[in-house]
Structure 1
């Protein structure tokens, strides 16, 4: 009986010693660890587009192929003449190839109880594409080109698209700003906790995106690149972790 008690005492003693050793190792590792502060830095800039791209769809429809071709050419020539008279240079104008297609009208025939179609004519269509750094002037032309409709010119003017051509330089500058913002945030948190920052442990770039200025566009995890607004807001985030001491 006493022998059994002795064994139990020895086992209990060994358990206490082992627990104390594990606790001391754990405390040692805890003290030797590197607590970190992880923050997200943000940078935003309002920018104005420096390139405008405007597409005009030109078309002509006639049952006679030659007449359709001549009408299409006349429409295109009148539009280009108007553009160049408004300050657009020849170097700023590009042309797509001309598409030719047969157009039909479809209707339901009650007698045959089938859908039928009749030949409308041959349609020719192409695009005139204006690319210019004179954004304001092209906007004015876009707003006034409907005057050509009164002259019988057949076309459709799409809404212009706006771009910022210095996007790579902008991104690099904003990454630096976002990193500085992350450091400032981490430093504030550390000082508020009576600590100070040490080395940078890690840093990753978040999403870079551009939305319309003061718009209600949703930010996207994949990045949003607005082309419908002349004035835009660019933003980027940086997630950084700093060791503290």
Structure 2
């Protein structure tokens, strides 16, 4: 190969190497830039808690009668309980808006018993006839609901005989203004996150800027002073006094 040809080859090779180096340098610089941008974001979690007092109570009880012979027998027993039930309800001064009565349910019900025959146990399917009705008391007067539950035990003693049972549920305590509280707590939790981010940034001589991303966590509504939480959120209805907790996760730009 002649000298001019070799010189041309060297020039071309050098140019290709230079371009490759520049391209590689661009990728490295770009990568460093991305890393720097990523480190310019601070991720913090903010929370806020509010104590509330339930403003509504719900109580349910079910009157259920049964008879092994016929539906008519179950219904007669069910009707025999009504005077005691009606007297009790009237004594509590309940308004139509506070008391709801579900439709009466009636029909056969299958059940299984164990019988022993010739020393062998066997399952035997039998039928009983059941009549039931559920009452639902819901009121903003929580003391009225609590008083009704306390008085029900004595009032239903005579009714709960002759194949009739009175099944009472626990009181459910609700808070009807929860939507407003949630909005206020989200604002407070966001402010808490910003304060935390600012404290962290200031320790490094920086400050926080705009919100880059924000994620709202689940709400925890728990009995007062209880610390247990659930991944999907919780809504306690067993306690009169509750705590509502909101959590947010925010990425702030660091300046």
With the shorter chain as reference, the TM-score category is: 0.7 to 0.9
1:57 CA displacement: 1.0
**TM superposition shift of 1:137:** 2.2
Classify 1:18/1:115 alpha carbon distance in 2 versus 1 (closer, same or farther; 3 Å). closer
Q: 1:115 aligns with which of 123, 128, 133?
A: 123
TM-superposed deviation, 1:54? 0.9
Matching residue of 1:95: 101
Deviations 1:48-70 (A, max 9, x none): 11121111010122345444323
Q: Which segment drifts farther, 104-113 or 224-233?
A: 104-113
- Note closer, same or farther for the CA distance 1:24–1:70 as it changes in structure 2 (3 Å cut): closer
- Residue 173 to residue 74, structure 1, CA distance change in 2 (3 Å): farther
Deviation of 1:172 after TM superposition, in Å, equals 0.8
Shift of 1:23: 5.7
Q: State the SS of the aligned residue for 1:232.
A: strand
Q: Would the aligned equivalents of 1:58 and 1:76 in 2 still touch at CA under 8 Å?
A: no
Tell whether 2:161 aligns with 1:143: no
**How far has the Cα of 1:111 moved from its partner?**
3.3
Aligned to 2:219: 208
- Flag the 1:148–1:64 CA change in 2: closer, same or farther, 3 A: farther
2:183 counterpart of 1:197: no
Q: Give the secondary-structure state (helix, strand or coil) at the position aligned to 1:151.
A: coil
Listed one character per residue, the Cα deviations across residues 72-113 of structure 1 (whole Å, up to 9, x for unaligned) are 134244224313312322321111222223356723131394
> In the comparison of the two structures, how many residue pairs are matched?
241
Distance 1:156 1:98 in 2: 15
CA RMSD, Structure 1 to Structure 2 (Å): 3.3
Q: Say if 1:57 and 1:125, in contact at 8 Å, map to a contact too.
A: yes
DSSP-derived class of the 2:90 partner: helix
CA contact under 8 A between 2:85 and 2:156: conserved in structure 1?
no
Superposition pairs for residues 19-168 of structure 1, below 5 Å? Answer: 35-62=40-67, 63=69, 65-102=71-108, 106-111=113-118, 113=120, 114-116=122-124, 121-153=128-160, 154-168=165-179
Gap change, CA 1:45 and 1:80, over 3 Å in 2 = farther
Distance in 2, matches of 1:141 and 1:191, equals 58
Structure 2: how far apart are the matches of 1:71 and 1:215?
45
The residue aligned with 1:180 is 191
For 1:23-45, what per-residue CA distance to the aligned partner results, in whole angstroms no more than 9, with x for missing partners? 66666666677701111110111
Change in CA separation of 1:239 and 1:112 when aligned onto 2, cut-off 3 Å:
same
TM-score, scaled to structure 2: 0.78
2:84–2:159 contact (8 Å) kept in structure 1? no
Supply the distance in 1 between the matched residues of 2:31 and 2:226 (Cα, whole angstroms). 53
Does the CA contact (< 8 Å) of 1:186 and 1:197 recur in 2? yes
Unaligned runs of 5+ in 1: none
State the TM-score, normalized to the length of structure 1.
Answer: 0.81
Task: Answer yes or no: is the 8 Å Cα contact 1:106–1:117 preserved in 2.
Answer: yes
